[in-house]
Amino acid sequence: MSAPDAPPAHATHAARPLSDALLDPSCVHCGFCLPACPTYSVLQTEMDSPRGRLQLIEGLGTGRIEPTPQVVAHLDACLLCRACETACPSGVAFGERMEDARAAWHDAPRPLGRRLVERMLTRVVAAPPFVQRMLLGVGARLLALGDGLAAPFPLPARVRTAFALARQFDPRREPELVEGFVAMPRGRARLRVGLLLGCVQRHLFDDVNAATARLLVRAGCEVVIVRGQGCCGALASHAGQRESARSLARKLVAACDAAGPLDRIVSNAAGCGAALHGYPHLLPDDAEAADFAARTVDALELLDELGLPPARRAVPRRAVYHDACHHAHAQGLRAAPRRLLEAIPGLELLPLPDSERCCGSAGIYNLLEPRTADALLDDKLSRLHATGADTVLAANPGCLLHLRAGLLRARLPIEALHPLLLLDAAHRVLLDDEGEALLDADHAEDASA
Amino acid sequence: MTPRDPLDRLLDSFAARLGAEAVVRDAGRLHVYAGDGSPMHDALPRAVVFPRDTADVAAIVRACADARVPFVARGAGTGLSGGATALDGGIVLALNRMDRVLAVDPVDRTATLEPGVRNLAVSEAAAEHGLFYAPDPSSQAVCTVGGNVAHNSGGPHTLKHGVTVNHVLGLTLVQPDGHVVRVGDGACGYDLLALLTGSEGTLGIVTEVTVRLLRRPETVVTLLAAFDSIEAASEATSAVIAAGIVPAALEMLDAEVVTALRAAFGFEFPGGAQALLLVECDGVLPGMDEELADVSTLLREHGALSLRAAHDDAERAEIWTARKKAFGALGRIARHYYTQDGVIPRTRLPEMLRRVREVAARRGLRVANVFHAGDGNLHPCILFDSDDDKTKRNVLEAGAEILRHCVELGGSLTGEHGVGVEKREWMSTLYAPDDLAVMARLRDALDPSGLCNPKKVLPLGAGCGELSALGRRAAL
Amino acid sequence: MSAVDPRGTSAHGSAPSSAHAHAGDDVPARDALPDAARMRSLPRLEPRTPDALAGHVRAAHADGRALLPAGLGTRAPRGALPARADAWLSTRALDGVVHYEPGDLTISVQAGLPLDALDELLRPHRQRLAAQPFARTGSVGGLVASGAEGALALRHGTVRDTLLGARTCHGDGVLARSKGRVVKNVAGYDVPRLLVGSLGTLGVLVEASLRLAPRPARSALRVATYPDATRALAAARAVLDAALEPALVDVLCAADDARPGAPPVPRLLVLFEGGAARVDGQLERLDAVLRASRPDAFELLRDDETLPLLRHLDDAPRGLDDLARARDAAPPEADTNPTTAGSHAPGVAHAAHDVLVLRLQRTPRTLPEALAALRDATAAAGLEATWLARPGLGSATLRIAPRTHAVPATNAVPASRAARDPYTHATFLAAAATLLDAPGRHSGLQVLSAPDALRADPLRVFGPPPPAWRLMGAVKRALDPRAVLAPGVHVGGL
């Protein structure tokens, strides 16, 4: 609608068949998204604002503009944080439109490095978990080796951070949860839920998955670790690799289907949760996918809904809650996590200004657009620092990794944790055991209480 | 473009000064700078440049003047009259990166700002001193003070606190020849501040603004009254004003708007109501209860079906968010909207609203009304879904017709959105040729080259009606 | 517009204005400054219609004559002496009401309408012109041309904030409108506001649309007396910082007309307006603030009692003059000055005498210091200042006259000022010139009225031209290309 009567002569570039949504002009150009957009605040050009990107998409869609590297770069510079959707009074489904656009122009000219990284990472997330684990192990060892060799040399902070993060990953440690595992609560289960482990989460934050299972059980759920679940497809979808995203999604839906009747499908990573909710858009006309999406719920939301018994112990920390974009903006999940955390004795929850502003992680964005990502991270870190908190809570593995890297680099004495870990610390029985033993102990403690 | 193209050389020189990243010159990306908040106007600029300070702006303007290339300043691009569109293949100076709050003086109660500072950021910067910046256009979270100065922006609270021109104390102007001059600051001589404020960027580019800050009122109470007709709400508005009460804001929303707000924010509307009147009273605590009682009595006497007071900040914020995002929310009930900004003497409100309805009915269009009732400043939003030229023509003609009624009733074409491209040719319905000639002389005096935001505000040529002169795009 | 005052042209009677239309044929050499006597004898044009007015201007434009726009002639002459002058052009006969709809809180009137007549019209509707609601001297056009700051400027702004639209005759005789009678209007350039304070040099206001304000039900004026100006100004600051919404916060250092002959003392004046609860509730808060400032005396005036004092504050140059006269205890009838006898405004008489009225425009932060420095300089020049400061606006008006009271005068009523004046006219002019020509002349200082001898040079009246003077020149040339209207009267000889 920006150029209602532009000369048709312009519409010469290869117009592409696009969904209606892509051309849906309900953006009225009010501009409310501009101050909400993290990349606009950093890059300060209209092309890097949601309104501008919609215009680019519309221009590309109508063939009025060409998918030049310059133009496509602005689509790629979007975090897909969807903060603009929160700000938008018209309710433009920006995330969907951006994903559609990236899918439609995924073959547009892009820098070689970017293509390689994207292709590699999307291959990796689609690979079987054992392959991922192997690759991660090799990677971590290489990095650790590099760290040792490079120790005497001055290295960019970014590289040092990567080394430091790699040291945190222990490839020899066995995961606490394995696919096919079923955990039963004491007494009759209130719900039968499937727990998704996530492709990044299961390797790097396996403790979060275990904590999630324990908490769900404590809330009265039968927890099924769905066999053959794989990746939700979020990263592929963000990268415009729609077909690979679709096949991952279909695989996941089928895997959950095979796990027997599940009341809910629980995710504990904000990015995954948002992607699951987006299945009806990704797989239009797929009734199963729509039904699946309707049963999808974030662990924090479900725990808040079901309620937990009183905490077993205090967790004395001064924490701030950073809203993962795909919680706050994509799922409207803001109050539930805070309610759960506020119920933890000893935990002081401090306000974090601009807590809904993206930290710059955004999947693999921090690898592809490091300058913007770092600018956002610096902003986030200075806000974190100003609160005087000792812990920052974020319910997304991407955010956690990115924040940890930043905190390491800035040498800030702040720990970045998934909120479920703190919640679990308040609720679990103090037995540093493997899954089964823990669940037994859970019964034991409850019985003794 | 060949490298010999003088424009290319000009842009090269800008890139050398500002960095290549700060000069956008490829057609694809320029596409997003073709329009502003107006759905009806756009024009592809030849380039967009991002100056960082006054010296950058002066250098760019001087170079443009030397090369005889037109130029236009742009803030956040929220304007609703096509004022920031680069006609004649001009260069856009995007000032959004000049966004520093240079000073806040709590004793003098002033703030000195670069033009790219967002309106709301001024109040945020002043908040620690208990001060705020009064003009609050609905787009205040987005729009910039530079744009506010250009349009003499208003907002809901201008009823009591005045519009931008009442709050600008000084400014730095880059004249269309590149000279930099400071205006205002209490200096004697002609009131150039008044001339420049609202001149829509046609007399120069403002690169620094000093504004007055007001003290935050001790109490604020927002009343929401529902009426069974928009006429009844209008009568109530008149009654409040006639009683000698000057509320901080007096806003009206009709049923269509509330439908959109309900979709966007879950904003609830008392059953059976066809219009909402939002009355805000602010000031010191003493006497506030009496004022509220008076207002409530008047509203009830004039048919208020229900009355709700928002006393706490959260509830008030909710109401105002809904009000301020009302335009945007119209996207929920229509694919497009086209808003007008006519002003009429307040007592003619019921008559005017009736005429608006007639125009819409005759043309088979839906109209949503959300406006500053206290000021008599209407924003009839014509809703439409189709992109075809016929629909658009119908919509535009309806808008023009509504404005003709405004002028007929003793009002004006625009209260706060500006003339821009949109209402340029309609100026001759409001003004006689001599009136426009005087304005044209002022323009020529300050911008003899005519390169500074050309073809805005004043009709092209004395003849007017030359809708075709700019080509079809701008006219539509 | 009464920017330049036609005082003394007493014989204009009601002769049709056209009689004078071509009276300026025998113009003297244009480069010669008109002296006061010649100014008084200039023909006076009093057109009865806007078109007739435009006709006069067009003719002058064609003939290269200069006109001095004027209103009722109640304000002291403002600005520098005109560079040329061939006739007065008064809007006195254009005094109609064009449109008044009380419910709109706006009115459109002709420029010559006297402010008191306007107030008569508004009073039954409980409305007023907040730009100058109390003094009500002069005409609408004069108020606009002078841009005067009224008593309620802190709360309601000046006429700049009240003027909605105008019909103006510019220097080539073109009658043009800009803006209109609605309270919000951004259609086209703001020509009306450009006229505010233009001293008639950009156009002759023919018709003005004004925003009105409701008349408050109640008002209360708290008067607190302090031993020195510093404490009074500090108390004013405290009031401005308190949770109050005063309509006026002034510090007046002038004689008290209730106590003739007493020496000037600084008084802080705070006005509240509105409903009874609002006024009284704020008074309570105010008194808590003021008690901490330990005033010498404390007084409260309510409703109509406030008017005599507010009248002085509303039109400060004149108010200070009246107060000075009250101090001299000379009854108005004693004014025998030939230049003012029969004038509509006896108060102006003093302005024509050895009196200098200055306006100081600073910011709230810098005003106290600038005011103190100016008062010191005044004393050093052997002169004496009575003054009115608006700490919230950063402005002050000073009336500077020869020091007449070496000792507090409590007794005699002098027969004439000259008789007891230790200064001669010449020594006054010299002293005043020293004050105005000082190398460190205070910025923001402007002469509002002065003897003609001090008004010849715009540099002395306005100080050095402001940074945007070149732009102002462009505006002047655009609206008055042949400098027909009050040439040379404004800053830098505009």
Tell me the domains of chain A and their CATH numbers.
Answer: 8-104 (1.10.1060.10), 112-168 (no CATH), 182-306 (3.40.50), 317-427 (3.40.50.1860)
Of B97, B141, B473, the CB nearest to A35: B141
pLDDT confidence of residue C36 = 67
Q: What percent of chain B clears pLDDT 90, i.e. is strictly above it? A: 76
Cβ–Cβ < 8 Å for C89, C67: yes
pLDDT confidence of residue A24 = 55
> B466 pLDDT exceeds 80?
no
**Interchain CB contact of B345 with C (< 8 Å):** yes
From B263-267, B410-414, C13-17, C47-51, the region with the lowest mean pLDDT = C13-17
Per-residue pLDDT of chain A (449 residues; tens, 9 = 90+): 333 333 333 334 454 444 444 445 578 888 999 999 999 999 999 999 999 999 999 999 989 999 999 999 999 999 999 999 999 988 899 999 999 999 999 888 888 888 888 888 778 877 888 888 788 778 777 777 776 776 666 666 666 677 667 666 676 777 788 888 899 998 899 999 999 998 888 888 889 999 999 999 999 999 999 999 988 999 899 989 999 999 999 999 999 999 999 999 999 999 999 999 999 999 999 999 999 999 999 999 999 999 999 999 999 999 999 999 999 999 999 999 999 999 999 999 999 999 999 999 988 888 888 899 999 999 999 999 999 999 999 999 999 999 999 999 899 999 999 999 999 999 988 654 444 444 433 433 333 33
Residue B325 pLDDT class (50, 70, 90 cuts)? confident
Distance (Å) from the C-alpha of residue A87 to the closest C-alpha of chain B?
9
Determine whether the interchain pair A59/B28 forms a contact, defined as Cβ–Cβ distance below 8 Å: yes
Please report the ipTM that was assigned to this predicted complex.
Answer: 0.92
Rounded to whole angstroms, the Cα distance separating A54 from A193 reads 38
| Nearest by Cα to C251 from C332, C364, C99, C344 | C364
Q: What is the CA radius of gyration of chain A?
A: 22
Chain B residues inside the 8 Å CB shell of A26: 331-332, 335
SS3 of chain C: the string is CCCCCCCCCHHHCCCCHHHHCCHHHCCCCCCCCCCHHHHHHCCEECCCCHHHHHHHHHHHHHHCCCEEEECCCCCCCCCCCCCCCCEEEECCCCCCEEEEEHHHCEEEEECCCEHHHHHHHHHHHCEECCCCCCCCCCEHHHHHHHCCCCCCHHHHCCHHHCEEEEEEECCCCCEEEEECCCCCCCCCCCHHHHHCCCCCCCCEEEEEEEECEECCCEEEEEEEECCCHHHHHHHHHHHHHCCCCCCEEEEEEECCCCCCCCCCEEEEEEEEEECHHHHHHHHHHHHHHHHHCCCCEEEEEEHHHHHHHHHHHHCHHHHHHHHHHHHHCCCHHHCCCCCCCCCCCHHHHHHHCCCEEEEEECCCCCHHHHHHHHHHHHHHCCEEEEEEEECCCCEEEEEEEECCCCCCCCCCCCCCHHHHCCCCHHHHHHHHHHHHHCCCCCCCEEEEECCHHHCCCHHHHHCCCCCCHHHHHHHHHHHCCCCCECCCCCHHHC
Q: What percent of chain C clears pLDDT 70, i.e. is strictly above it? A: 81
Distance (Å) from the C-alpha of residue B106 to the closest C-alpha of chain A?
24
Q: Span C406-430, mean pLDDT? A: 54
Q: Span C415-438, mean pLDDT? A: 70
The residues near A56 (Cβ < 8 Å, ≥ 6 apart) are A47, A65, A71, A74, A75, B28, B29, B31, B32
Q: Domain coordinates of chain C in residue numbers?
A: 1-215+464-494, 218-314, 316-461
Residue C410 pLDDT class (50, 70, 90 cuts)? very low
**Interchain CB contact of B314 with C (< 8 Å):** no
* Best residue in C186, C237, C270, C494 for a mutation probing chain B (most B CBs within 10 Å): C186
Chain B residues inside the 8 Å CB shell of C149: none
Of C147, C181, C492, the CB nearest to B345: C181
pLDDT confidence of residue C20 = 36
Distance (Å) from the C-alpha of residue B403 to the closest C-alpha of chain A?
22
Angle at B123 between CA B117 and CA B126, to 5 degrees: 105
Helix (H, G, I), strand (E, B) or coil at B1: coil
Determine whether the interchain pair B28/A35 forms a contact, defined as Cβ–Cβ distance below 8 Å: no
Nearest CA in chain B to A34: B142
Helix (H, G, I), strand (E, B) or coil at B275: strand
Determine whether the interchain pair B472/A52 forms a contact, defined as Cβ–Cβ distance below 8 Å: no
Nearest CA in chain B to C202: B190
pLDDT confidence of residue C404 = 62
Q: What percent of chain B clears pLDDT 70, i.e. is strictly above it? A: 96
Asked if domains B6-94 and B219-327 share a fold, the reply is: no
Q: Domain coordinates of chain B in residue numbers?
A: 6-94, 101-215, 219-327, 334-408
Determine whether the interchain pair B244/C190 forms a contact, defined as Cβ–Cβ distance below 8 Å: no
Tally the C-alpha atoms within 13 A of residue B380's C-alpha that lie toward its C-beta.
29
Say how many CB pairs under 8 Å bridge A and B.
135
Determine whether the interchain pair B427/C174 forms a contact, defined as Cβ–Cβ distance below 8 Å: no
What's the CATH code, domain C1-215+464-494? 3.30.465.10
Of C170, C194, C474, the CB nearest to B194: C194
Residue B29 pLDDT class (50, 70, 90 cuts)? very high
pLDDT confidence of residue A154 = 64
Domain C218-314 part of CATH 3.40.50.620: no
* Tokens linked to A190: 């209130």
pLDDT confidence of residue C33 = 54
**Interchain CB contact of B439 with C (< 8 Å):** yes
* Tokens linked to B353: 């609203």
Chain C residues inside the 8 Å CB shell of B441: 478-479
Determine whether the interchain pair B28/A68 forms a contact, defined as Cβ–Cβ distance below 8 Å: yes
Chain B residues inside the 8 Å CB shell of A67: 28
A and C adjacent (3 or more CB pairs under 8 angstroms): no
Chains in contact with chain A (at least 3 beta-carbon pairs closer than 8 A): B
Q: Which fold has domain B101-215?
A: 3.30.465
Asked if domains C1-215+464-494 and C218-314 share a fold, the reply is: no
Domain B334-408 part of CATH 3.30.70.2740: yes
Tally the C-alpha atoms within 13 A of residue B101's C-alpha that lie toward its C-beta.
16
pLDDT confidence of residue A157 = 66
pLDDT confidence of residue B387 = 75
Distance (Å) from the C-alpha of residue A58 to the closest C-alpha of chain B?
10
> C249 pLDDT exceeds 90?
yes
> Which architecture, in CATH terms, is B219-327?
2-Layer Sandwich (3.30)
Determine whether the interchain pair B195/C181 forms a contact, defined as Cβ–Cβ distance below 8 Å: no
Of B182, B246, B343, the CB nearest to C467: B182
| Nearest by Cα to A228 from A261, A250, A212, A205 | A250
> Which architecture, in CATH terms, is B6-94?
2-Layer Sandwich (3.30)
Cβ–Cβ < 8 Å for A239, A118: yes
Terminal Cα-to-Cα distance of chain A (whole angstroms):
65
B296 or B269, greater pLDDT: B296
The winner for highest mean pLDDT among A145-149, A216-220, C335-339, C428-432 is: A216-220
Note the pLDDT tens digit of each residue in B101-124.
999 999 999 999 999 999 999 999
> C413 pLDDT exceeds 50?
no
Rounded to whole angstroms, the Cα distance separating C313 from C134 reads 8
Chain C residues inside the 8 Å CB shell of B161: none
